[in-house]
Amino acid sequence: MNEGAIGIFDSGVGGLTVTREIMRQLPMENLVYFGDTARVPYGSKSKQTIIRYSTQIVNFLRTKNVKAIVIACNTASALALEELQEQVEIPVIGVVWPGAISAAEATKTMNVGVIGTAATIKSEIYNKYLHELNPDITVVTKACPLFVPLVEEGLIEDRVTDDIARRYLSEFLEYNVDALVLGCTHYPLLRNTIRRTLGDKIKLVNPAYETAKSLKKLLMERDMLNKSMAKVHHEYYVSDMTDQFVPFADRVLPFHVDKIRVVNIEKYKKDSCRRNP
């Protein structure tokens, strides 16, 4: 059981930023990554569809003997976590709760900002979690739908991205926000742009770090850490072989990924992973 892999999934390539952090904090763990490149993005889709897609992915990951699952995608964490936790008996963690913990710890003004996809913001999950952690926190949220396409077009340092960032973010300055959750895996790549827009006084919270920390804590508490001396293996799967995966992986991961396999994810039907089939 302890040699089983950590299953990590995302709507596409963005979850590799979370994967990198898990590799850093848990270098002895085997990993299986799945990116839903055939159906990306999730951020503009409905809850029902995101749950169906996430369930198929969990069904697939379970065929890979995973001992725990990390939802690296904020949108899927926001909309499908509870459903997935009910469906399977192994631990499933998302990035939203760890992100909320980090932000609640970081804020002093008790004004926390959250940026994410339209679906994540609409779910109001960060508001709910932040208020559970501290009812005195005021949460200001903003959907930033153009950030992902801008990153994917490579406009990381660009006047257009700066212009769009000013429109999305300037209201956070009015609300005396001192911690901003980067609630989408692509956003940490825009860290410099966001800094230029908001200045140095706002702490930018990347849920990836806290997610890996939560995962480590969970595996330790349940005595699930990998103690095998066998060589660690990392596997990468996608639902479509697109041109973006390898360049993005090369930018994010500390080594080149040379083997990526394509999975027909639609075959992994809903309901087939129920706890008591």
Active site residues: 73, 184
Q: Left, alpha or beta for 165 (phi > 0: left; psi -120 to 50: alpha)?
A: alpha
Between 129 and 248, name the residue whose CB sits nearer to a second copy.
248
Between 65 and 272, name the residue whose CB sits nearer to a second copy.
272
Nearest distance from residue 118's CB to a second copy, in Å? Answer: 7
Between 162 and 235, name the residue whose CB sits nearer to a second copy.
162
Between 48 and 276, name the residue whose CB sits nearer to a second copy.
48
| Residue 65 in tokens | 């003997």
Strand pairing class (234-238; 261-262): parallel
Nearest distance from residue 194's CB to a second copy, in Å? Answer: 17
Nearest distance from residue 97's CB to a second copy, in Å? Answer: 26
Count other Cβ atoms within 10 Å, centred on residue 274: 12
Q: Which residues bind a second copy (CB under 8 A)?
A: 37-40, 44-46, 48-49, 118, 145-146, 149-150, 152-153, 159-160, 163-164, 239-244, 266
Nearest distance from residue 52's CB to a second copy, in Å? Answer: 8
